[in-house]
Amino acid sequence: MAEKTLDNLFYDTLKDIYYAERKILKGLKKMSKGAQAPELKAAFDKHYEETEGQIERLQQVFEIIGKRAQGKTCDAIEGILAEGEEILEEYAGTDALDAGLISAAQAVEHYEITRYGTLKRWATLLGYDDAARLLDETLQEESKTDESLTALADAKANAKAQGAAA
């Protein structure tokens, strides 16, 4: 068996997040349609556009390392998105729906933040400085999206969901 290196791990993880981002696009469309608050719909729509740009950046990273852009099934994102689907179904029409959607979206964001943070560090170690810059750009976007979602939850969605139980 051939020796596995950080370069192999970097490439495999890059394929993982590439697959994940493409699946996330589909999930964002569903979440936008299901969201009740116009601000949350707008946040999902904005992140959809950002995700398209993130996929383009990933394609550039594949080019930098001289590999074909391809995905590798990511069981983690499949599970996270399935949980989001459950929330859409189980909480449809309730005051708790938006809080649940924000929670599901943040689970996605946190997964992406860990992946991009790791990939950025590995790209730097491997001497892929241009790739590291592209990955950092996406990492910063994901962190800002997470902060925006927290602000939406704190501003209205969580209180609305709590009021439904009172």
Domains of the chain, earliest start first: 6-165 (1.20.1260.10)
Rounded to 5°, the CA angle 67-72-75 comes to 155
CA distance 73 to 16: 6
pLDDT at residue 28 in the model = 94
- Listing DSSP states for 110-141 in one string gives HHHHHHHHHHHHHHHHTT-HHHHHHHHHHHHH
Average pLDDT, the chain: 95
Q: Is the pLDDT of residue 117 over 60?
A: yes
Amino acid (1-letter code) at residue 12: D
What does the pLDDT look like over 121-163, one tens digit per residue? 999 999 999 999 999 999 999 999 999 999 999 999 999 999 8
Question: In the chain, pLDDT over 70 holds for what percent of residues?
Answer: 98
Q: pLDDT grade, residue 67 (50/70/90)? A: very high
